[in-house]
Amino acid sequence: MNAGFLGIGHYTPEKVLTNKDMEKIVDTNDEWIRTRTGIEERRVAADGEDTSHMAYKAATSAIEDSGVKAEELDMIIVATVTPDQPFPSVSAMLQHQLGATNAAAMDVGAACAGFMYGVITAQQFIDTGAYKNVLVVGAEKLSKITDWKDRNTCVLFGDAAGAAVIGPVEEDKGILSFELGADGSGGGHLYQDQQDAIQMNGREVFKFAVRQMPESSVNVVKKIGLKEEDVDFLVPHQANIRIMEAARERLGIPAEKMSTAIRRYGNTSSASIPVALSEEVKAGKIKEGDLVVLVGFGGGLTWGAVALRW
Ligand code: ACO
């Protein structure tokens, strides 16, 4: 028995901010944003629509997709750097809203790699037999910690939530290998400052990510004795198309086998991988039996990857 994805879902707010809209907010232009990042537009949550609201919508969609009932969930893990408040956790709020009366609840903080940390934590509980069904959510309202006067960062981020129910699947399916890592010495390259705004040394983060994402993607494939070209689909953290391309090129797979949800949503931190995965699965691009690599990196610095058989 392995741990695998029983169901998946996502939610994105209605309000769209295009690159043209960003031109009215800061000194930037569509061409710069497109060529440097791959982003065309992003979503922004409405006033009063907080992280827990988006998490709830993604979670209900994933639960419905899985066929598991809310009361059958043993644990809820929410990855977020933008909780409604420090406590109670978003996961505890969700536990109540969903009526998941038998579930333990905790939030994990690993920035954009948070969903990967959540999935691997769920896998451990399932592998030991302690738990059967674990809901893992990545949800972010980055718009509330975005400095809307800083063109270096405000063009990059968006709001969204993605969710998955992880549970036991057949031996040859589900999560086959993983890698998690951290390098706290790079913490100063990407952090939330005293004014609650995101601060980033873009070039340093870029250098780290362009090395780490390809390396971790290859590592998880090698761990299961397969080759780069065996990968059917790559879902990388959607931070910058150029970083994502580096991972894809290292695997040597064609462009149509990589998610590019970044174009429509920008960087949604811990939500980016589950949102992109959910879209690809629902569009039929990821099919049963496909070897899929999920790989993320984020503030910390942190990173994580899994190879899984869908
Ligand atoms: N519009 C126009 N010009 C801009 C903008 C903008 N929005 N932002 C910066 N510039 C300017 C800069 O001021 C600079 O001008 P200068 O040369 O006169 O000083 C010029 O563009 C080039 O800036 P660079 O930093 O060299 O641009 P680069 O090609 O490195 O791209 C970027 C910047 C997109 C931020 C890139 O470094 C990157 O993607 N880094 C990684 C970011 C990332 O992945 N963050 C992850 C966050 S994950 C998380 O945990 C939240």
pLDDT in tens, the chain (310 residues): 899 999 999 999 999 999 999 999 999 999 999 999 999 999 999 999 999 999 999 999 999 999 999 999 999 999 999 999 999 999 999 999 999 999 999 999 999 999 999 999 999 999 999 999 999 999 999 999 999 999 999 999 999 999 999 999 998 999 999 999 999 999 999 999 988 999 999 999 999 999 999 999 999 999 999 999 999 999 999 999 999 999 999 999 999 999 999 999 999 999 999 999 999 999 999 999 999 999 999 999 999 999 999 9
**Which residues make beta-bridge pairs with 17?**
42
Query: Which is it for strands 174-182 and 198-200: parallel, antiparallel or unpaired?
Result: unpaired
What is the predicted ipTM? 0.91
Bond from prior residue into 291 cis (ω within 30 degrees of 0): no
The best mutation among 33, 115, 152 to test binding of ligand 1, ranked by most ligand atoms within 8 Å of the C-beta, falls on 152
Q: In the sheet that 159-169 helps form, which strands lie side by side, from edge to edge?
A: 2-11, 159-169, 134-141, 75-79, 104-108
| The pLDDT of residue 264 | 98
Query: What pTM, to 2 d.p., does this model score?
Result: 0.96
**Which two structure tokens, joined as six digits, stand for 283?**
């569009």
C-alpha count within 13 angstroms, C-beta hemisphere, residue 2: 18
Q: Is the CB of 269 within 6 Å of ligand 1?
A: yes
Contact (CB, 8 A) for 99 and 71: yes
* Closest C-alpha among 143, 145, 139 to residue 11: 139
The verdict on the CB of residue 199 being under 6 Å from ligand 1 is no
Residue 96 designated active-site: no
- Position 1 scores a pLDDT of 87
